[in-house]
């Protein structure tokens, strides 16, 4: 914008200077007239911009979805209202979108005309390629004169919060979780007449039912033995452990080890919570993070918000993380560990969990495929064999260039 105005100024100066010089040399009145016409035109343009700066009042509002997944299109609607008595033309609106990178972060829209007291809606979109938490805004409006010689910039502090969540993938196959000896998902209700959890109703007495469960009031009404019936609830819990190590940032962008780990963590959390399973997250990123057990969409939002903002700044090993959190892992649960293959030597530390009926599901990333951009089948096969011989549980293996959804199907 500044360069464009400068070019116009240079052109006007050359024409005005040439007119004045020719008029002084030839005494032709036309060139004097042209010179003063250009000077008057510049003065009028400057006065125009000063009037806009003094009297124009704009009201701006932005509407945008507060959350999208990585790679999705963000739709933005901007409403602009001219509350002044002056008509506006040749006006440039700038919106700052930090979810984009470089020069793309500034969106420019030319508004050719907006009458006094009128409103207009502007629509634009952008593709969010980087996960994170962003603050859209502020707006900047450039007021130009009709010839574009002068402009005044005015900022409007209108902000919107945006979360770009990691993109999740569907999981069609997953190892069975542990709750006692019942390999099932979600909450299961079983009707029985013994010592269960919650009163369910009454039913007729059957041989073997304990006498203490007889419902005497119903028995007297129906003139036959009636017993109390209870509901047994079986629920499942899963602890998700993720360590975002700084020294694992071999590649840039979506092809790094940590970005794969974040995508896997988000997908596994979504899958388990959709199944009605209670999930907790233990992670090490910029700092230790613990999101306690819970269920439902709101809990998934909490996990995705953390994963959206997580930065790979951990300098701890898996052994340190496990030693600090092992005593807090409840009995009769499942631990899901997302880790690079370099950490497999620490997994034997988790063997004592078996005594508490805690099962282990390792999700292992082959780091050499990220560091050297290698995905040769023989290399991957060799690492899988070493993992299966070393780990106390059968791992699910991921490597660069692989569709993570296929890793669960290959397990």
**Residue 97: CATH number of its domain:** 2.60.40.10
DSSP assignment, residue 245? B
Q: Which helix (H) or strand (E) holds 324?
A: helix 318-325
- 226 and 268 in a single domain? The answer is no
Question: Could you tell me if residue 69 is inside a domain?
Answer: yes
What percent of the chain stands above pLDDT 90? Answer: 38
**122-160 pLDDT, tens per residue?**
999 999 999 999 999 999 999 998 888 888 999 999 999
Closest CA to 238 of 338, 349, 332: 332
Count the residues in the chain: 411
**365-402 pLDDT, tens per residue?**
888 887 765 556 666 777 666 766 666 667 888 888 88
User: Exposure of 203 by Cβ count < 10 A (0-12 exposed, 13-18 middle, 19+ buried)?
Assistant: middle
Q: What is the residue range of 223's domain?
A: 191-233
| Mean per-residue pLDDT, 225-232 | 71
Tokens representing 222? 């129906």
DSSP assignment, residue 338? E
Better-predicted residue by pLDDT, 327 or 290: 290
Question: Could you tell me if residue 186 is inside a domain?
Answer: no
**314-334 pLDDT, tens per residue?**
888 888 888 888 888 888 889
Q: Which pLDDT value is given to residue 189?
A: 41
Q: Is the pLDDT of residue 94 over 60?
A: yes
- 291 and 351 in a single domain? The answer is yes
Q: Which pLDDT value is given to residue 229?
A: 72
Highest averaged pLDDT of the listed ranges 152-156, 205-209, 217-221: 152-156
Q: How far is CA 299 from CA 140, 189, 260, 276, 347, in A?
A: 37, 23, 22, 11, 28
- 82 and 226 in a single domain? The answer is no
Q: Is the pLDDT of residue 282 over 90?
A: yes
Question: Could you tell me if residue 367 is inside a domain?
Answer: yes
- 210 and 243 in a single domain? The answer is no
Distance CA 381, CA 384 (A): 5
| Mean per-residue pLDDT, 184-212 | 58
- 390 and 343 in a single domain? The answer is yes
Q: How far is CA 376 from CA 255, 346, 372, in A?
A: 16, 26, 11
Q: How far is CA 301 from CA 31, 106, 308, in A?
A: 71, 29, 10
Give the count of domains, the chain: 4
Distance CA 340, CA 368 (A): 10
Q: Is the pLDDT of residue 238 over 90?
A: yes
Question: Could you tell me if residue 48 is inside a domain?
Answer: no
Question: Could you tell me if residue 177 is inside a domain?
Answer: no
Beta strands in 250-295 (DSSP E): 278-284, 288-294
pLDDT band at 233 (very low <50, low <70, confident <90, very high): low
What percent of the chain stands above pLDDT 70? Answer: 86
- 75 and 127 in a single domain? The answer is yes
- 351 and 404 in a single domain? The answer is yes
Instruction: Provide the CA 180 distance to its chain's centre, in angstroms.
Output: 35
Peptide bond into 167 cis (omega under 30): no
**CATH number, domain containing residue 294:** 3.40.50.410
Q: Is the pLDDT of residue 76 over 50?
A: yes
- 15 and 124 in a single domain? The answer is no
Mean pLDDT, the chain, whole residue set: 84
Question: Could you tell me if residue 267 is inside a domain?
Answer: yes
Q: Which pLDDT value is given to residue 196?
A: 42
- 394 and 365 in a single domain? The answer is yes
- 33 and 150 in a single domain? The answer is no
Distance CA 358, CA 78 (A): 52
Lowest model confidence (mean pLDDT) among 5-19, 71-85, 230-244: 230-244
Lowest model confidence (mean pLDDT) among 195-199, 224-228, 292-296, 309-313: 195-199
Q: Is the pLDDT of residue 222 over 90?
A: no
- 195 and 287 in a single domain? The answer is no
Contact 228, 199 (CB under 8 A): yes
Question: Could you tell me if residue 393 is inside a domain?
Answer: yes
- Among residues 182, 210, 233, the one where a domain terminates is 233
Please report how many Cα atoms fall inside a 13 Å half-sphere around the Cα of residue 237, on the Cβ side.
14
Question: Could you tell me if residue 379 is inside a domain?
Answer: yes
- 300 and 203 in a single domain? The answer is no
**325-367 pLDDT, tens per residue?**
888 888 888 999 998 888 877 777 887 888 888 888 989 888 8
């Amino acid at each position: 914008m500044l360069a464009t105005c400068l070019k116009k100024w240079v052109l006007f100066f050359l024409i005005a200077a040439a007119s004045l010089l020719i008029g002084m040399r030839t005494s032709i009145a036309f060139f004097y007239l042209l010179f003063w016409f250009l000077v008057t035109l510049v003065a009028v343009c400057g006065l125009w911009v000063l009037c806009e700066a003094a009297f124009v009042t704009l009201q701006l509002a932005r509407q945008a979805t507060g959350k999208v997944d990585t790679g999705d299109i963000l739709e933005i609607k901007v409403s602009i209202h001219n509350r002044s008595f002056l008509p506006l033309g040749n006006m440039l609106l700038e919106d700052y979108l930090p979810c984009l990178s470089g020069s793309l972060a500034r969106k420019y829209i030319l508004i050719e005309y907006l009458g006094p007291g009128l409103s207009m809606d502007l629509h634009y979109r952008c593709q969010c390629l980087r996960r994170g938490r962003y603050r859209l805004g502020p707006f900047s409006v450039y007021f130009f004169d009709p010839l574009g010689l002068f402009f005044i910039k005015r900022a409007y502090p209108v902000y919107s919060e945006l979360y770009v969540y990691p993109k999740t993938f569907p999981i069609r196959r997953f190892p069975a979780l542990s709750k006692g000896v019942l390999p099932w998902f979600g909450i299961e209700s079983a009707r029985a007449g013994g010592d269960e959890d919650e009163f369910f109703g009454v039913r007729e007495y059957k041989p073997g039912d304990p006498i203490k469960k007889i419902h005497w009031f119903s028995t007297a009404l129906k003139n036959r033995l009636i017993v109390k019936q209870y509901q047994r609830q079986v629920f499942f819990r899963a602890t998700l452990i993720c360590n975002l190590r700084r020294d694992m940032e071999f590649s840039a962008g979506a092809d790094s080890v940590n970005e794969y780990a974040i995508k896997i963590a988000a997908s596994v959390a979504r899958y388990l919570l959709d199944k009605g399973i209670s999930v907790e997250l233990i992670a090490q990123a910029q700092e230790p993070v613990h999101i306690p057990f819970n269920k439902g969409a709101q809990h998934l939002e909490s996990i995705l918000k953390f994963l959206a903002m997580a930065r790979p700044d951990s300098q701890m090993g898996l052994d340190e993380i496990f030693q600090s959190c092992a005593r807090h892992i409840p009995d009769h649960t499942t631990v899901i560990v997302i880790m690079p293959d370099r950490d497999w030597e620490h997994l034997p530390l988790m063997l004592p969990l078996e005594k508490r009926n805690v099962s282990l599901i390792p999700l292992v990333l082959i780091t050499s495929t990220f560091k050297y951009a290698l995905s040769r089948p023989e290399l991957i096969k060799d690492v899988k064999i070493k993992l299966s011989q070393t780990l106390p549980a059968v791992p699910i293996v991921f490597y660069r260039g692989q569709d993570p959804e296929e890793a669960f199907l290959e397990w």
